[in-house]
Amino acid sequence: MRNIAYDNFTETAVRAYAGAGARRTGDILQLLIQRPHDFVREAGITPGEREDAMGFLARAAAATVMGPFFVPGTPAPPYGADLSVGNKGERIVVHGQVRNSAGAALGPDRSLAERAIRPLRRAGPGPAGA
């Protein structure tokens, strides 16, 4: 069992990811761990403030990934549906497919969106305006 304490938790976390992938990946992970830890210490963040910040960041990240108009639980429109909801203007047709980083199609389902939103549902609502 590791002896993790306030004065060594950053070093312990960095060590846990040592050798994770290419050297560049390790360098990036080290900075990604150290900078937030340094910020928390410098700002004197309390555990409650940390939890609030983590909840906010999780919601903000999902909104960034899913887009500003995504609403969890909204039924998926049928393929080819008119999304204009009666608004006037020039109509355009958009075709596309969501792919993973290897280029493989993820398919027409909403599983990607649901996987991104599921942790937020467990977290529950955040502070007003978050």
pLDDT, tens digit, for every residue of 8-67? 888 888 888 777 777 888 888 889 899 988 988 899 989 899 889 888 888 777 667 677
Please enumerate in sequence order all residues whose Cβ is within 8 A of that of 76, keeping only pairs 6 or more positions apart, or say none.
110
Residue 118 has pLDDT above 70, yes or no: no
Distance CA 107, CA 99 (A): 8
Cβ count near 33 (within 10 Å): 19
Of 39, 38, 40, 18, nearest to 29 (Cα)?
A: 18
Report the distance separating Cα 49 and Cα 82, nearest Å.
44
Residue 81: count other Cβ atoms within 10 Å of its Cβ: 8
Comparing 15 with 6, the larger pLDDT belongs to: 15
Confidence of residue 82 (pLDDT cuts 50, 70, 90): confident
pLDDT tens readout for residues 86-110: 778 887 777 777 778 888 877 655 5
